[in-house]
Chain A
Amino acid sequence: MSDLNKLTIAEARDQLRAKEITSQELTQSCLSAIDGADALGAFVHKTHDLAMSQAQAADARLAAGDAPDMCGIPLGIKDLFCTKGVDSQAASRILQGFKPEYESTVSQNLLDAGTVMLGKLNMDEFAMGSSNETSVYGNAINPWKVDDRALTPGGSSGGSAAAVAADLCLAATGTDTGGSIRQPAAFTGIVGIKPTYGRCSRWGVVAFASSLDQAGPMTKTVRDSAIMLEAMCGHDPKDSTSADLPVPNFEAMLTGDIRGKKIGIPKEYRMEGMPAEIEALWSQGADMLRDAGAEIVDISLPHTKYALPAYYVIAPAEASSNLARYDGVRFGHRATLAAGDGITEMYEKTRAEGFGPEVQRRIMIGTYVLSAGFYDAYYNRARRVRTLIKKDFEDVFATGVDAILTPATPSAAFGLGEMTDADPVQMYLNDVFTVTVNLAGLPGISVPTGLDSTGLPLGLQLIGRPWEEGDLLNTAHVLEQAAGFVAKPQKWW
């Protein structure tokens, strides 16, 4: 039995239940693939022994019958999730050696469903980045390659995207504050969904910007996202913003029927300088949904242009507050102090050594926009603009629009190091199509729909109404089927 690591969750589930394979065989196949893929920099903490014992338990549960859909499925977990007894350092030096005494709710939900954890996945430090280049572990590398350049898998969930695209695991967890699930999914030809804010508990997920952060699945197919999302979400009393709503059977909602659905095409997403290929892909996507019986309508989201600047006030402001906890006292790194150094020197030296340049930059921007005299001018103004951005979507949904179709990213994957000398703002533009969705708290999904002229994957994004992930996944499923994206990266690693 070879290549079991290439299965989808749905295929593996069916074969596990039919007793054609065992979770131990499946897990072993993934572990071998992981050991042969160090060049991708995707898995940064491997948990072989833990994985095999979880697989054994899953096999016992499967043998007993009535196991959940995710039972026995091997997953990679983003390093942002606290996992009990296993290194969890948000790809930061400041959390070096941190082994939580607790498990995040999302990863616990997955364990309760019988999944197997293969290890922890690379990411941008504290999820701040769009190329996985801010990680203390070094770069994660895109398994897609078209010339001798090493390409970014995107970020911040770059390790998750690389691992799924390279078949090192059946699926992975990601988190998304401004596009960190959807952009890497688009760069690597996989599916990633950020659910409605409040769908997944944030408890035990290292906080970046609490009003924007959401966890979600990164998978090979839309069906797999539906299966895995159901296992991840649910009400959690430990997260006050967690929604106390029933979790539907998302997979059962994949009917393939979108006749009569109204799909909006927002004119403000037609950006100046957008590559013609992405423009073409976008209109092909609209045609596919129209052919499936949906009605395509032009819509306007007038405040789109202001989403990125509002995000770059709100997210750093929240980050400066959330990251104040890394003080060298309770966990992680503490700087070596000189004779006579007091507690202030300890804080300042620890944080200068422990945080990388992008994290320091965002903490300080956040500190500035929250400081006396600037709070109203920057922070409150950004929160007012955020209200208007959310209202843009509410107005469109009030006209009967069911989902909105946009490009997922303004380009295909770029080369690692190509943005090093660029202004940080250039890197921030990667999130131009995704960040509105976080500001409005909506569900958004990236679906691989084509290849560019060089052979790199491109994705489209669908944005749904709040709490209607099931309907959104169904539309995404139709788009996926119509696009028929089956390309895989050629193995070079």
Chain B
Amino acid sequence: MEPYMSITTETAAKVAKLARIRVEEDALPALAQEFNNILGFIEQLNEVDVAGVEPMTSVTPQRLKRRVDDVTDGNQQGKVLKNAPDAREGFFAVPKVVE
């Protein structure tokens, strides 16, 4: 694992952007500091010898079930749109996506 790198305000801004959460400019230094505290705590994992250890993908050894690839649900447009903040003419409405 590469050595622990301190999170800068630029990195914090980039992470906020990736997470699609607006963070005001003046809140970035505090956010970066919080990330550093948490990542400092996580850093302990570097002490563990994980050579040859597989990353866990499933906590129980069960094989996932399979089923026939049939359509078993659908035709619920009204229910699907019921909780939308803005639904029009049977669609979800969003601000303009392309110019």
CA distance A306 to B49 in the complex (A): 12
- Cβ–Cβ contact A332 & B18, under 8 A: no
Q: A343-B95, A390-B59 are in contact. Are A332 and B44 (CB under 8 A)?
A: no
CB contact under 8 A between A342 and B96, given known A237-B67, A306-B45, A309-B41: yes
**Choice from B15, B43, B53 contacting A384 with Cβ under 8 Å:** B53
Chain A interface residue count: which class? Answer: 35 or more
Interchain nearest-CB distance for A210 vs B (Å) = 11
Do A383 and B42 touch (CB < 8 A)?
A: no
Give me the interface of B with A, judged by CB distance under 8 Å. Answer: 1-2, 7, 11-12, 15-16, 18-23, 31, 34-35, 37-39, 41-48, 50, 53-60, 62, 64-65, 67, 76, 79-80, 82-86, 92, 94-97
Which applies to chain B's interface (DSSP): helix, strand, loop or mixed? loop
Question: Are A198 and B16 closer than 8 Å at their CB atoms?
Answer: no
Q: How far is the CA of A130 from the CA of B12 in the complex (A)?
A: 25
Question: Is A328 part of the contact surface with B, judged by Cβ < 8 Å?
Answer: yes
Show 7 A/B contacts (Cβ-Cβ < 8 Å), sorted by A.
A241-B62, A305-B44, A381-B1, A382-B42, A382-B45, A383-B56, A388-B53
Residues of A within 8 A of B57 (CB): 383
The count of A-to-B residue pairs whose CB atoms sit within 8 angstroms is 170
Q: How far is the CA of A424 from the CA of B31 in the complex (A)?
A: 12
Segment at the interface with B among A20-28, A139-147, A162-170, A346-354? A346-354
Chain A 268-314 interface residues, beta-carbon cutoff 8 Å to B: 303, 305-306, 308-310, 312-313
A321 CA to B96 CA, complexed, in Å: 25
Q: Is the CB of B92 within 8 A of A330?
A: yes
Which of A324, A329, A367 sits near B84, CB closer than 8 Å? A329
Q: Are A424's CB and B85's CB within 8 A?
A: no
Interface residues of A (CB under 8 A from B): 97-101, 196-198, 211, 237, 240-241, 243-244, 303, 305-306, 308-310, 312-313, 320, 324, 327-334, 337, 341-349, 351-352, 355, 360-361, 363-365, 367-369, 371, 376-378, 380-388, 390, 423-425, 428, 439-441, 466
| Minimal beta-carbon separation of A344 from chain B (angstroms) | 7
Contact of B34 among A98, A337, A424 (CB under 8 A): A424
Secondary structure dominating the interface of A: helix
In contact, A312 and B41 (Cβ under 8 angstroms)? yes
When the two chains form their complex, are residues B59 and A441 in contact, meaning their CB atoms are under 8 A apart?
Answer: yes
A230 to B57, CA, bound (A): 28
Known: A355-B21, A363-B19. A99 touches B42 (CB 8 A): no
Return A99 CB to nearest CB of chain B, in Å. 7
Contacts of A380 in B (CB 8 A): 55
Of chain B, the residue at the smallest CB distance from A441 is B59
Q: How far is the CA of A196 from the CA of B86 in the complex (A)?
A: 40
List, in ascending order, chain A residues with CB within 8 A of B96's CB. 342-343
**Shortest beta-carbon distance from B82 to chain A in Å:** 6
Q: A244-B65, A390-B56 are in contact. Are A377 and B94 (CB under 8 A)?
A: no
